Structure 1
Amino acid sequence: MQLTGHITPESLMSLEAYSKWRKAHKPEVIAHRKLRSVQLGEHINLQFESEMTIRYQIQEMLRIEKIFEEEGINGEIEAYAPLVPDGGNWKATMLIEYTDINERKRELARLIGVEDRLFIEVEGHARVYAIADEDLDRENDVKTSAVHFVRFELTPHMRASVKAGAAVKLGCDHTHYPAHMQIPLETLASLAGDLK
């Protein structure tokens, strides 16, 4: 899987080529995803996306759905490519995870707006709150969704601080889900690689 900085139909592998590549490289992608996964409290997981995770997602969708026509390929790219960070931000898939279905239903009702209360705090800088669900609204008056897509925009000074080794806190100040934690150093090193 070649990272090119821009996902196009021409930069994706054919279904046959991807099938061969997948057998040899799936463990690397899983390790990369695991490194970029941050658990915030007991029930929120943020999967920070990268070009590799999104390319893999697109290739997996093409494989599973057996999509090989241009229109279908372009549709998958349009759906997922906006989740690739652009050098000035971090983008993540936010998962609200409750195993018990009744507890999940109750908590999703209590957590309306939680996606807007997520923040990143780079050491020495003000908090940056998430910009959530730019593709479509994922909550209603009754409950929030268990999946959200969030973006954290970092100023040039914040990006320079991260690259220089500043600590970064991930947090949430929603009334019903107060939580914060330092992003682990290995994860932060991977995330710093997304920044220009």
Structure 2
Amino acid sequence: MNATHPISRDSLLSLEEYARQRPAFRNRVIAHKQDRTLPLGDHLTLVFEDELTIRYQIQEMLRIERTFEEAGIRDELEAYNPLVPDGSNWKATMMIEFPDETERRAWLARLIAVEDRVWVRAEGFDPVFAIADEDMERDNDEKTSAVHFLRFELPVAMIRALKAGAALAVGVDHPAYSVAVEHVPEAMRQSLCGDLRA
């Protein structure tokens, strides 16, 4: 599946039609996300977004907010369409997860700027570090946020290598949190390659 086109207004389901299709659509998205969700250690997870995952987010927001007016629908499209990869990049939601609130607060203070230290690397290439939170700042001098939005802008040569079968590694290089997945599972690598054009 190639997920390089923004979601159009005409392609969205009405609230009534979405209510009918929601159980099957939700199950499809859950299954799809299995090959696009990557734990990095015990406390950090990347979910690589694409057209399907973002379409689901938009439909869910319209449903929750009971939005059927054109202006509201356009606002959701403008908010979420930038999270759809456009052929030269991967886009991911990064979550920092600590069940205990006190521990989470302490770690969010230790992990300032971690979002800028997440990387992807095709075998034989230098790592590409994330461009984080282009929509708004999500950290300050005291702590980072538990959720960040990342973009990995990939050189054409790396895209070609990945499409030709190069191994993919993903990691974090931060003083308080350093981890690497040296070989991303093949099903995930193939799913992510579907987002790319070379």
Deviation at 1:188, TM superposition (A): 0.8
What is the 5 A alignment of 1:53-72?
A: 53-72=53-72
Cα distance between partner residues in 2 of 1:11 and 1:35:
24
Code of the aligned partner of 2:67: I
Cα distance between partner residues in 2 of 1:5 and 1:18:
21
CA contact 1:87–1:195 (8 Å) conserved in 2? yes
Cα distance between partner residues in 2 of 1:165 and 1:184:
12
Greater relative contact order (Cα < 8 A, sep 6+):
2
3-state DSSP of counterpart to 1:28:
helix
1:27-74 per-residue CA deviation (whole Å, 9 max, x = no partner) reads 111111122000001100000000000001000110111100001101
CA contact 1:39–1:45 (8 Å) conserved in 2? yes
Say whether residues 1:80 and 2:80 are aligned partners: yes
Runs of 4+ in 1 over 3 A off after TM superposition: none
Cα distance between partner residues in 1 of 2:41 and 2:23:
34
CA contact 2:5–2:84 (8 Å) conserved in 1? no
Say whether residues 1:169 and 2:169 are aligned partners: yes
Unaligned runs of 5+ in 2: none
Question: What's the counterpart of residue 187 of structure 2?
Answer: 186
What is the alpha-carbon root mean square deviation over aligned residues? 1.1
User: 98-107 or 10-19: which moved more?
Assistant: 10-19
Question: What's the counterpart of residue 22 of structure 1?
Answer: 22
Question: What's the counterpart of residue 119 of structure 1?
Answer: 119
Question: What's the counterpart of residue 47 of structure 2?
Answer: 47
CA contact 1:40–1:179 (8 Å) conserved in 2? yes
Code of the aligned partner of 1:107: W
Say whether residues 1:38 and 2:38 are aligned partners: yes
- For this pair of structures, how many residues does the alignment match? 194
Cα distance between partner residues in 1 of 2:113 and 2:51:
28
CA contact 1:128–1:152 (8 Å) conserved in 2? yes
Code of the aligned partner of 2:107: E
Deviation at 1:4, TM superposition (A): 8.6
Deviation at 1:21, TM superposition (A): 1.6
Q: 1:101 to 1:4 in 2, by over 3 A?
A: closer
Cα distance between partner residues in 2 of 1:103 and 1:6:
38
Question: What's the counterpart of residue 159 of structure 2?
Answer: 159
Deviation at 1:6, TM superposition (A): 2.5
Cα distance between partner residues in 2 of 1:148 and 1:191:
19
1:85-125 per-residue CA deviation (whole Å, 9 max, x = no partner) reads 00000000000000000000000000001000000111011
TM-score by length of 1: 0.96
CA contact 1:4–1:11 (8 Å) conserved in 2? no
